[in-house]
Amino acid sequence: LNSRLAPMGTTIFAEMSALAVATGSINLGQGFPDTDGPEEIKRAAAEAVLSGRGNQYPPGPGIPELRTAVAAHQKRFYGLDFDPDTEVLITAGATEAIAAAMLALLEPGDEVVAFEPYYDSYTACIAMAGGVRVPVTLRPPHFRPDLDALRAAVTDRTRLLLLNTPHNPTGMVLTRAESEAIAQLVRERDLLVVTDEVYEHLTFGPEHIPLATLPGMRERTVTIGSAGKTFSFTGWKVGWVTAPPALVSAVRSAKQFLTYVASGPFQYAAATALALPDAYFSTLRTDLERKRDLLADGLTAAGFEVFRPDGTYFITTDISALTPKGGMDFCRELPERCGVVAIPNQVFYDDTEAARSLVRFAFCKKDEVLTEAVERLGRLK
Ligand code: PMP
Ligand code: GLN
């Protein structure tokens, strides 16, 4: 293994999901729903397979039906106009979009400024592209971005900002004022933005503001979305990029040599899903908000300090009141102690000390599963 990837080890999601299976624990670690998305969307996938749509290589940029549906979604929810032919690219999940964007846009040595904690593929993809990550740390209890620190992190070598809102693992959602301040810095310093908005529909109160909607930002922003989160089909791996033609074309140049194309039949199903009525999106939100409160209240009662998230399906907690141990040791022992799996937030940080006692729980699970998990966690005290 080369020196760029060697420090990355095995992803924590694989380690913790394997531990959940081995110990028969409730898996609140890796973020995936325990209930699939809508029946009609499953049927759309099955029908695509059976009617022979997408069973052979689909077009490199993605099937026209899905590119059109992605553009229509950006218009319907945010008033953004994208040309499906030149400004939309379909990828194998958001993960490939992130990788392709880094490989396409970075020269070796270019700096990427990002808020940490970051989703673990960011560090790996920046490294694989030969870039250098420059973290700006988000801190409890609110995990709001320190805009002065962000400004100070930008240097002459900075090529782009890699953003994520709503933010995994903290659940922080950038406000309009914060987004505007970030946009101003980006324009001033002539940077690009790659913004990971896979949790765009998972917000509980605050509005999701796509960076591309702010003045002067559409032309310098690569926006990443995914069907995995919005439609509860994380196994389908259908993601997308929207950006101006030159940026889409650059990302596509890298993407064509990573996977060439994303899975065909699921693209047809994702196109159907993006056209679901507004009620689908609002029900998803209210269901998840109830689950958030169920788990947050249970964790609080169990002795965790809970940082109630505004978005995503993750809750970050502090375990200091329960144990002097760090989150990594705590999470490795938790399955044996009470049959629950969680993720130590340390793995999302360079500044691991800042996250020593932080632990993340996923709440995209059935109410009865969350109730059982809370009961088990209640025995820790
Ligand atoms: N970005 C973030 C912030 C994530 O949490 C995830 C994981 N689900 C992804 C990207 C990857 O999305 P996908 O499954 O579509 O590759
Ligand atoms: N995004 C999911 C999470 O943060 C996991 C995705 C993965 O397993 N790579 O839990």
Cβ atoms of 169 and 348 closer than 8 Å:
yes
**Is the distance from the beta carbon of residue 196 to the nearest atom of ligand 1 less than 6 Å?**
yes
Question: Sheet holding 132-137: strands in order across?
Answer: 88-91, 239-242, 221-226, 192-196, 158-164, 111-116, 132-137
Residue pLDDT, tens place only, 17-47: 999 999 999 999 999 999 999 999 999 999 9
Mean pLDDT for all residues in the chain: 97
The closest alpha carbon to 36, from 268, 202, 287, 235, belongs to 235
Listing DSSP states for 348-380 in one string gives G-SSGGGGTTEEEEE--S-HHHHHHHHHHHGGG
Q: How far does the centroid of ligand 1 lie from the alpha carbon of residue 69, in Å?
A: 20
Check whether residue 120 and residue 246 sit in a common domain: yes
Residue 240: predicted pLDDT? 98
Would you say the CB of residue 165 lies under 6 angstroms from ligand 1?
no
Residues 256 and 325 in one domain: no
Domain-embedded: residue 327:
yes
Last residue of one domain, picked from the residues 242, 274, 306:
274
pTM: 0.97
Mutate to test the pocket of ligand 2, among 11, 19, 27, 30 (most ligand atoms within 8 A of CB): 30
Full domain range(s) for residue 289:
6-30+279-380
Residues 126-158 have pLDDT tens digits of 999 999 999 999 999 999 999 999 999 999 999
Q: Which ligand is nearest to the CA of 196?
A: 1
Residue at which a domain ends, from 274, 293, 317: 274
Nearest CA residue ID for atom 8, ligand 2: 13
Question: 288-308, pLDDT tens digit by residue?
Answer: 999 999 999 999 999 999 999
> 187 pLDDT exceeds 90?
yes
Does the CB atom of residue 226 touch ligand 1 within 6 A? yes
Residue nearest to atom 1 of ligand 2 (CA): 31
Query: What is 113-148 written as a DSSP string?
Result: EEEES--HHHHHHHHHTT-EEEEEE--TTT----HH
185: domain CATH number is 3.40.640.10
Q: Which atom of ligand 1 is nearest to the CA of 167?
A: 3
Q: How far apart are CA 185 and CA 255, in angstroms?
A: 29
C-alpha to C-alpha distance for 182 and 163, rounded to whole angstroms: 10
Residue 1: inside a domain, yes or no? no
30 CA distance to ligand 2 middle (Å): 5
Q: Which DSSP string do the residues of 88-115 spell out, in sequence order?
A: EEEESHHHHHHHHHHHHHPPTT-EEEEE
Report the residue among 19, 95, 119, 313 best suited for mutation to probe ligand 2: largest number of ligand atoms under 8 A from its CB. 119
Same domain, 87 and 204: yes
- Residue 31 Cβ contacting ligand 1 at under 6 Å: yes
Closest-lying ligand 1 atom to the alpha carbon of residue 119: 3
Tell whether 85 is covered by a domain.
yes
List the CATH number of the domain containing 24: 3.90.1150.10
Instruction: Name every protein residue with a CB atom under 6 angstroms from any ligand 2 atom.
Output: 11, 13, 30-31, 168
Give the Å distance between the CA of 321 and the centre of ligand 1: 31
Instruction: Report how far residue 61's alpha carbon sits from residue 78's, in angstroms, rounded to the nearest whole number.
Output: 23
| C-beta atoms surrounding 55 within 10 Å | 12
In a shared domain, residues 124 and 260: yes
Looking at the chain, the whole-number percentage of residues with pLDDT higher than 90 is 94
Q: Are residues 66 and 148 in the same domain?
A: yes
Same domain, 154 and 185: yes
CB 317 within 8 A of CB 359: yes
Last-in-domain residue among 240, 274, 308: 274
- Compute the average pLDDT of residues 214-232: 98
Which of 331, 317, 326, 334 has the alpha carbon at shortest distance from 379? 334
Query: pLDDT tens digits, residue range 345-368?
Result: 999 999 989 999 999 999 999 999
By the 8 A CB rule, do 267 and 63 touch? yes
- CA 226 to ligand 1: nearest atom: 15
Residue 94 beta carbon below 6 angstroms from any ligand 1 atom: yes
Tell me, yes or no, whether 133 lies in a domain.
yes
Of ligand 1's atoms, which has the minimum distance to the CA of residue 196?
1
The three-state secondary structure class of 305 is: strand
Residues 144 and 111 in one domain: yes
Could you tell me if the CB of 164 is within 6 A of ligand 1?
yes
129 and 255 assigned to the same domain: yes
343 falls within a domain? yes
- For ligand 2, what atom is nearest to the CA of residue 17? 8
pLDDT band at 8 (very low <50, low <70, confident <90, very high): confident
* Nearest ligand to residue 118 Cα: 1
> Is any atom of ligand 1 closer than 6 Å to the C-beta of 95?
yes
Please report whether residue 146 resides in a domain: yes
Token pair for 64: 């026209």
Residues 243, 263 share a domain = yes
173 and 106 share a domain? yes
Taking the centre of ligand 1 as the mean of its atom positions, its distance from the CA of residue 340, in whole angstroms, is: 22
Which CA distances in Å does 347 have to 15, 131, 150?
12, 19, 21
My answer on whether 232 and 290 are in the same domain is: no
Residue with the smallest CA separation from ligand 2 atom 9 is 13
Domain count across the chain: 2
Ligand with smallest separation from the Cα of 114: 1
Do 85 and 169 fall within a single domain?
Answer: yes
